[in-house]
Amino acid sequence: MIHKTAIIGKNSKIGESVTIGPYTVVEDDVIIGEGTIIGSNSLIASGSRIGKNVHIFNNTSIGTIPQDLKFNGEITTLEIGDNTVIREFCQINRGTDYHYKTVIGKNCLLMAYVHVAHDCIIGDNVILVNGCQIAGHCEVHDYAILSGHVLTHQFVKIGSHVMVEGGSKVKKDLPPFIKAQGTPLKYGGVNIIGLKRRGFSEQSIQNISDALRFVFREKLSRTLAIEKIKGMDLDDPNVRALLEFLEKSDRGIMIA
């Protein structure tokens, strides 16, 4: 059902069983997948690509142009995966010519007043709690949880299964599987409860803990920590994922 007061661009593609509420504007060059619900008084801007069964609540601003002075009208997009929920007053910008797209994955929850800037890549099953502000070019990997009012610096990477304490300022990369807490932000141990909930074996959790000891507890350089972890010679895909993250970190790793 599309409310009679909604404005729909002629060149937009609206899937079956889509609901669009009163006074919402859907601009041209928008794709909305079947079963999606969009509340009232929202803007779905050109370049938005919204998946199936997404729920976008009232008073949101989706796919608007980047807040970046270098942006010069390039054709870019915002992609939102299936089954994602976006609550009231969220704002998500589309990409610049750096990545040409901003991506929100599947099964995510963005609570009220979240901002996701241009060129960000948000993975699947991510939770961004009320008031999180994600700066341009950031990556938040699968199953990460950012508690309320977390702020990130541009180009920061937050690994999978990370949990970040509310009100934190994230200036450096956070490796996967950890908790980050305190002021300034520091390593708070392995996210054991989260990993158990997601079916990680006791052995894999122990392997992750042993590997992270070289990164944080022994205060080694990143290069030496990587060498030590490789020397463990563990046939564990999660340890390999940790190594890959460490090797690709551009902003450096958060302090211990």
In a domain, 13, yes or no: yes
**Residue 241 dihedral angles phi and psi, to the nearest 5°:** -65, -40
In a domain, 220, yes or no: yes
Q: What is the pLDDT of residues 37-58, one digit of tens each?
A: 999 999 999 999 999 999 999 9
Query: How many beta carbons lie within 10 A of that of residue 230, not counting itself?
Result: 13
**Residue 147 dihedral angles phi and psi, to the nearest 5°:** -70, 180
In a domain, 131, yes or no: yes
In a domain, 128, yes or no: yes
In a domain, 170, yes or no: no
Q: Please report which residue ranges of the chain form alpha helices under DSSP H.
A: 192-197, 202-212, 222-231, 237-248
pTM summary value: 0.96
Instruction: Give the CATH number of the domain where residue 102 resides.
Output: 2.160.10.10
Residues belonging to the active site: 118-119, 136
**Residue 228 dihedral angles phi and psi, to the nearest 5°:** -65, -40
Q: What is the pLDDT of residues 219-255, one digit of tens each?
A: 888 999 999 999 998 899 999 999 999 999 999 999 8
Report the C-alpha dihedral over residues 38, 40, 46, 48, rounded to 10 degrees: -20
Of the residues 115, 137, 159, the one at which a domain ends: 137
217 and 123 belong to one structural domain: no
Residue found under tokens 């790793």: 253
In a domain, 25, yes or no: yes
Instruction: Give the CATH number of the domain where residue 197 resides.
Output: 1.20.1180.10
Closest CA to 130 of 85, 166, 83: 166
Q: What is the pLDDT of residues 140-167, one digit of tens each?
A: 999 999 999 999 999 999 999 999 999 9
In a domain, 166, yes or no: no
In a domain, 145, yes or no: no
Domain that holds residue 223: 193-248
Rounded CA-CA distance 208/192 in Å is: 10
Rounded CA-CA distance 85/197 in Å is: 21
Beta carbons of 249 and 141 less than 8 angstroms apart: no
What's the distance, Cα to Cα, between the start and end of the chain in Å? 52
How many domains, in total, are found in the chain?
2
44 and 123 belong to one structural domain: yes
Q: What is the pLDDT of residues 59-77, one digit of tens each?
A: 999 999 999 999 999 999 9
Of the residues 137, 169, 204, the one at which a domain ends: 137
Query: How many beta carbons lie within 10 A of that of residue 5, not counting itself?
Result: 12
